[in-house]
Amino acid sequence: MKTKALGPIPAGYDALDGELAIGGRTASDLVASARSTPLFVYSRTHLDRRMAELRAALPKRVGINYAVKANPHPDVIAHMEPLVDGFDIASSGELAMVQAQRIDPTRVSFAGPGKRDEELEAAISAGVTLNCESEGEAARSLHIGQRIGKTPRIAIRVNPDFELKGSGMKMGGGAKPFGVDAERVPALARSIINEGADWRGLHIFTGSQALSAEAISETQSNVLKLAEKLSGDIGEPLPKLNMGGGFGIPYFPGDEPLDLGAVGSALERMVDNLPDSFDDTQLCVELGRYLVGEAGVYLCRVIDKKVSHGTTYLVTDGGLHHQLAASGNFGTVVRRNYPVAIASNYSGEAQDVVNVVGCLCTPLDRLADAALLPAADVGDIVAVFCAGAYGATASPSAFLGHGAATELLV
Amino acid sequence: MKTKALGPIPAGYDALDGELAIGGRTASDLVASARSTPLFVYSRTHLDRRMAELRAALPKRVGINYAVKANPHPDVIAHMEPLVDGFDIASSGELAMVQAQRIDPTRVSFAGPGKRDEELEAAISAGVTLNCESEGEAARSLHIGQRIGKTPRIAIRVNPDFELKGSGMKMGGGAKPFGVDAERVPALARSIINEGADWRGLHIFTGSQALSAEAISETQSNVLKLAEKLSGDIGEPLPKLNMGGGFGIPYFPGDEPLDLGAVGSALERMVDNLPDSFDDTQLCVELGRYLVGEAGVYLCRVIDKKVSHGTTYLVTDGGLHHQLAASGNFGTVVRRNYPVAIASNYSGEAQDVVNVVGCLCTPLDRLADAALLPAADVGDIVAVFCAGAYGATASPSAFLGHGAATELLV
């Protein structure tokens, strides 16, 4: 069988006693303390290091928000609380999650194209900033604010006329369900201000999962130019500008890590050249995947090793019910291998070409195709990396009744 | 904007007072009694009619099993209990679900490539038939049976050398993680019989979601020939033969319903020509999607109606967190529209070209692209059909914290 390459294992995952170690503990030790597989392990060390890299690279003036949707595990949110400047939520469910961690609501903003009245009410009542997605949503928010006697904090999410080039998901450029088309923003902003809302500025999100520093810098430059123009047209300075995110992580063979230094120094120059009208504008980037993606590893156990027509299968107790994106079934056209390893034989020499599959009774349930891996048999532990973002909650955990995975922050 | 066709609405969904009616009740009535959207509605009438069609078309001798994974809602399982002959489960979680409905374990069989020891023990202990997927799993099952003092009921799942042509998912033909390659089945069966297990025959599953009667009949013919050969090689009659399923339902523009009459009459001829050694063999087909898929409708509410660069969006409170397959993100290469309608204006004349999207903050969350639909505005109810199978449980319901949908059998 022809070998297919695996994605690159993120930095900082070394061997201990021949096994994969996470947070200084071996995979078998982690599985033993969780008392079950499959298991998501999130590493504090990795979370801290990524934040330190970002603080070192980005201009001091630019805050860092955590997009909770990437990983809403309570322990992860609690760990991020002292590290980041703000939290971005996408539903009243996520509002409850940040409230459960006693996060100051003035640090929280809420974006999402289909906010229900009860969600708007919960957010306004808590004092969370609404990133308003349409004229209709603005009217509903103002009405709800009046009804409950609370001034809503409102920013406008802008649908810009440009996109983040090379991004995995484009969220700007042309017709989009997100935000308000740029040319309609000044009139809406004036109306929001006139109606007495607490004006919070703009949110300009253009795409996600880009690995090119040049593309990110170009987009950030476009975001700042657009914000400057819109602020002028509105006739008021922006209290805050959420510049969006888009910082990607390597998942697939050939992917190279983002050059964060290049992004930071380009952004430094842009920020230094901002006009005086931005002197009091809070700037931030909004990151999810980039903060937590590489900090998570999914561990599952080999339940069966079998051969069919010359092909060897490692059948695990994990699968797409926990790792939909890794199986290649979530917004992917061509399936490619994530970084995968034999966690229980991490120092072993790669010698066998195997297909790693999940336990679900569907041919979609693939974790690695034709992977060259060290020897593994029933009982061995398989690691799927880049499992910290859009893993547990972005997968159909009820599918086929196997249940959710354990999640552990170490 | 150029219109994109919608998939065909299944038969039996008529208008009542201008609205979509399900089980004799209007969409707004159903939503009112559920007190929330989004909502899955499953129709008893549709379930009953589909079973009646199958009983009329298929030979009397061929039993019908329900594959619980298609829709494990407790009320659906309970409704199917008196209608079908057996239940196929894919995990110990699904075992617990059929046990909760007090279904006789001798009517249940368990297939799945990664059965854990504790799952095998639960199934053997309950008296469920194991569709054994490998020599290793057979050895573990026999060992567990000895340990707990209970004779395991074992069938062998066969990986056949042929596939179901035109099927949405191929589960036979070449190397596969499912079942035992056909040429190794006789030796394994002899060994299972010699070890004293309760020998239950064969399970031959070749694919799913085929709309061609000819392809299904050809496959059924191949299944019967293979079963005859294997039975001869084993030297014992088969107590049971699960012939698999594969009966598809129309989802997309241009899809035509399966010609069930043609499948039934072809199968009648095949069954009539079976050799005497099959006289005592219980025959069954295993169907999931075909039994429940068209009986379910997903209802969600329009939260916002907005225009971006000339494109109109109906933003609903539903989305891919409940209807992943309809969004085009589950095992799909090219996104096509499912059947979608304005449930609250079902009799209205199609007049507007709109994009129907979900509430999730991701461009993946699309329910219908460029659909020509009757007038709809905020508060209207959107119906997505073919939501009875692989909907609620095959979607990432925790994604973005919006929560699970209500499910209602009417």
Per-residue pLDDT tens over the stretch A224-280: 999 999 999 999 999 999 999 999 999 999 999 999 999 999 999 999 999 999 999
B316 CB neighbours in chain A (<8 A) are 114
Nearest residue on chain A to B70, judged by CA atoms? A400
A309 CB neighbours in chain B (<8 A) are 174-175, 181
Q: Comparing C-alpha atoms, which of B332, B370, B377, B333 is closest to residue B354?
A: B370
Q: Is B392 on the interface with A (CB under 8 A)?
A: yes
B297: distance to nearest CA of chain A, Å?
19
B402 CB neighbours in chain A (<8 A) are 91, 93
Confidence of residue B172 (pLDDT cuts 50, 70, 90): low
Interface residue of B144, B184, B361 to substitute, partner A, most A CBs within 10 Å: B361
A396 CB neighbours in chain B (<8 A) are 324, 393-397
DSSP A140-151: HHHHHHHHHT--
Q: Is A144 on the interface with B (CB under 8 A)?
A: no
Where in B180-281 does DSSP place strands (E)?
Answer: 180-181, 198-204, 207-208, 240-242
Interface residue of A95, A300, A362, A378 to substitute, partner B, most B CBs within 10 Å: A362
How confident is the model at residue B170, as a pLDDT? Answer: 64
Interface residue of A361, A366, A399 to substitute, partner B, most B CBs within 10 Å: A361
B115, A363: Cβ pair inside 8 Å?
no
Nearest residue on chain A to B309, judged by CA atoms? A175
Domain A14-43+294-409 has CATH 3.90.1150.10: no
How confident is the model at residue A167, as a pLDDT? Answer: 72
CB-CB contact of A338 with A8 (8 Å):
no
Architecture of the domain defined by B72-287: Alpha-Beta Barrel (3.20)
Confidence of residue B165 (pLDDT cuts 50, 70, 90): confident
Phi/psi at B87 (5° precision): -130, 135
Confidence of residue A166 (pLDDT cuts 50, 70, 90): confident
Residue A241 pairs in a beta bridge with A202, A283
B309 CB neighbours in chain A (<8 A) are 174-175, 181
Whether the pLDDT of residue A308 is over 90: the answer is yes
Whether the pLDDT of residue A171 is over 70: the answer is no
Q: How far apart are CA A306 and CA A299, in angstroms?
A: 20
Chains A and B form CB pairs within 8 A to the count of 208
Q: How far apart are CA B344 and CA B289, in angstroms?
A: 26
Confidence of residue A169 (pLDDT cuts 50, 70, 90): low
Confidence of residue B169 (pLDDT cuts 50, 70, 90): low
* Domain boundaries of chain B, sorted by first residue: 14-43+294-409, 72-287
A113, B361: Cβ pair inside 8 Å?
yes
Confidence of residue B171 (pLDDT cuts 50, 70, 90): low
Please tell me whether residue A300 adopts helix, strand or coil conformation: strand
Mean pLDDT of all residues in B33-55: 97
| pTM of this structure | 0.97
Whether the pLDDT of residue B334 is over 90: the answer is no
A133 CB neighbours in chain B (<8 A) are 304, 306, 315
Whether the pLDDT of residue A334 is over 90: the answer is no
Interface residue of A303, A334, A355, A393 to substitute, partner B, most B CBs within 10 Å: A303
Whether the pLDDT of residue A302 is over 70: the answer is yes
Whether the pLDDT of residue B307 is over 70: the answer is yes
Nearest residue on chain A to B94, judged by CA atoms? A401
Interface list for B 178-197 with A (CB within 8 A) = 178, 181
A306 CB neighbours in chain B (<8 A) are 133-136, 177
Q: How far apart are CA A65 and CA A244, in angstroms?
A: 9
Which token pair is B308? 């971006």
Per-residue pLDDT tens over the stretch A86-145: 999 999 999 999 999 999 999 999 999 999 999 999 999 999 999 999 999 999 999 999
A358 CB neighbours in chain B (<8 A) are 114
How confident is the model at residue A332, as a pLDDT? Answer: 74
